Amino acid sequence: MEDPGTAVAGTEVTGTVQHEAWRRRVLPPVEEVRPGLWSLPVPIPHNPLRYVTAYALALAGGGLGLVDTGWESEEGWRALRDGLASIGAGVADVRGVLITHAHWDHIGLGARVAAASGAWVAIHPADLRAVHHFTGKPPEQVVAEEVAFLVALGADPAEAAADVGTPEHMAHLAGMVVPDRLLEHGDRADLPGWSLRAVHTPGHTAGHLCFAEERTGLFFSGDHVLPRISPNVSTSGFGAADPLGDFLASLEVAGSGAAAEVLPAHEWRFRGLAARTAELRAHHERRLAELLAAIRAHPHATPWQLAAHLTWSRPWEDYERRMRIFAVTETDAHLRLLARRGLVVGSGGPVPTWTVAAR
Ligand SMILES: [Zn+2]
């Protein structure tokens, strides 16, 4: 993820307490955003995102619904339970969990929540496939597939193996909760007292869901739209063919709806969904133009080589491990969209290189 700039014209910070906590580098407090709806920050240890915001909704007839759960760690589990206790509830009160997408900071605590409460867990079918990718095979195979994917993008096999890490590093992902309910675009979540409509917004993941609450006009944006950073949009061996094309289309879908306030999964609440989605689209168009210029200057380069010619939030040489994987697979996502637009062509073969299309 990179920082395309903080002040976006047409947006307004509404989570001022969250914003102030960010500035002071502390975890924001639990807040009652609307009657019966709370934001619960769950820390992400040693991560610049700092925390994920889970949301708790009091249900008609008793119990709670959750939107996302938080990064799996003892610290996160404690924060989630303390957060629920501060609103007079406990994990056992949870009846259902909506997962915006199958990333560890959103689904990670789902297994503990489901075990402690018996709650159902719902996700989009495309992200259920991502869950099966990590839970349905040995971690050695997950690692081997990711290394092979990076080698096909031009990585040196030894470097790719070092960047991906060992199967032991990957093994915890096999313990991810396997959701037992599916939500597709337009479906209503089974949370009595609320009217949350699922909005399929592929890009950050193939099955990313936002939720539009139709009575309050609130928009739970997950990681699809964040107020400060641009969500990572990258290719993977188990993801979509053109994730950036999907993401730009999803931004149009999200930005076309009226939202009284945006409740994102990181950073702070804000208003101005249309302006923010327009800015994110403009950001990616600038990146596409930068990549096209890099291909013109360095023809017959692999995605791995091209990533080194782009500007990142820090010098490329300082990138390592996961960061480098994000950068290279994000470059690959931009390449695939340039190819779909007919602007570049790949060479074919096991490790394709790229050139500007003849006009
Ligand atoms: Zn996230």
In SS3 terms, 292-303 reads as HHHHHHCCCECH
Task: Measure 103 CA to ligand 1 centroid, in angstroms.
Answer: 7
Centre of ligand 1 from the C-alpha of residue 305, in Å: 27
- 10-residue stretch averages of pLDDT, the chain, 359 residues long: 55 96 96 98 92 98 97 96 98 98 97 98 97 93 95 94 88 92 97 97 98 96 96 93 97 89 97 95 97 97 95 76 88 97 95 92
pLDDT at 322: 78
- In angstroms, rounded to a whole number, what is the distance separating the alpha carbons of residues 130 and 285? 28
Distance between CA 164 and CA 161 in Å, rounded? 5
Question: Ligand 1: distance of its center to the CA of 356 in Å?
Answer: 34
CATH superfamily of 12-139+167-280: Ribonuclease Z/Hydroxyacylglutathione hydrolase-like (3.60.15.10)
State the DSSP code for 230.
B
- Find the 223 Cα to ligand 1 centroid distance in Å: 5
Sequence-ordered list of residues with C-beta below 8 angstroms from that of 21, at least 6 positions apart, any chain: 27, 28, 29
- CA–centroid distance, 224 to ligand 1, in Å, is 9
Q: What is the pLDDT, as a whole number, of residue 211?
A: 98
Ligand 1 center to residue 315 CA distance, Å?
24
What's the gap in Å between 53 CA and the centre of ligand 1?
A: 9
What spacing in Å lies between the alpha carbon of 105 and ligand 1's midpoint?
5
| pLDDT of 359 | 72
Domains in the chain: boundaries: 12-139+167-280
- CB of 80 within 8 A of CB of 66? no
* Ligand 1 center–CA 351 separation, angstroms: 30
Give me ligand 1 centre to Cα 266, in Å: 7
Residue 49 alpha carbon to ligand 1 centre in Å: 8
Count CA within 13 A, CB hemisphere, residue 179: 27
pLDDT at 319: 72
Helices (H), 239-272: 243-256
What is the Å distance from ligand 1's center to 216 Cα? 24
In which element (H, E) is residue 58 found? strand 51-58
What does the pLDDT read at residue 282? 97
Which of 321, 263, 272, 277 is CA-nearest to residue 52?
263
At residue 2, the pLDDT reads 42
Query: What is the whole-number distance in angstroms between the Cα of residue 285 and the centre of ligand 1?
Result: 23
Q: From CA 42, how far away is CA 147, in angstroms rounded?
A: 31
